[in-house]
Structure 1
């Protein structure tokens, strides 16, 4: 069973991370009119590399800065607004909608890859 789990683990992790990011972006859109709300996001590629354990960026000295700045080890970052608002809200609806659309497309693509992996496993099990 571990072989099957290992075969789909990457896509399953990516799907879970995409879902987490979609929820974060939806929260940003929902709070677009909330004073002092800070838009949050995460860097999908860096978080995926961290989950898989194959990060392209490695600290070679204790004086080097971390590549993710934010809220602890969860990879959550605050988005820097292009046009700051007077009420302290950093949500820019056009940016959030674009990020949400892009992430939703990535979610559907990952789901397609996962379905193909599972279909391939079923074909192998049936011996077709």
Structure 2
């Protein structure tokens, strides 16, 4: 299977790097939702921004959105609870070095799309955190 076309709302498997990690490689691959996928004409690449999905309940409830169990099932995520983080983002040129195949699904890199209302909540939450300067972005490559 070929790589998916990056688009906002698509959930991919990605080696997400948290802002507190001091290494060049992520400690864990995880599902991440694409928030932005924009083609830059001058560079010719697709700049992509992703938000991580985690099992860890948020310390700050305003920094995450819990994903409904039905959405987790439709995406094929495990049976645990999952949160979309609003305060931690990674940016990279698509497909980057950290796009990963989904375990047990060879050649598949995406889980599917977030429902439109959930994606809107994710987008609005990220914008609000960025406006309040309460979010962190890790650039995974140099432009």
TM value normalised by structure 2: 0.27
Structure scoring higher RCO (CA < 8 A, sep ≥ 6) equals: 1
TM value normalised by structure 1: 0.29
Of structures 1 and 2, the larger Rg is shown by 1
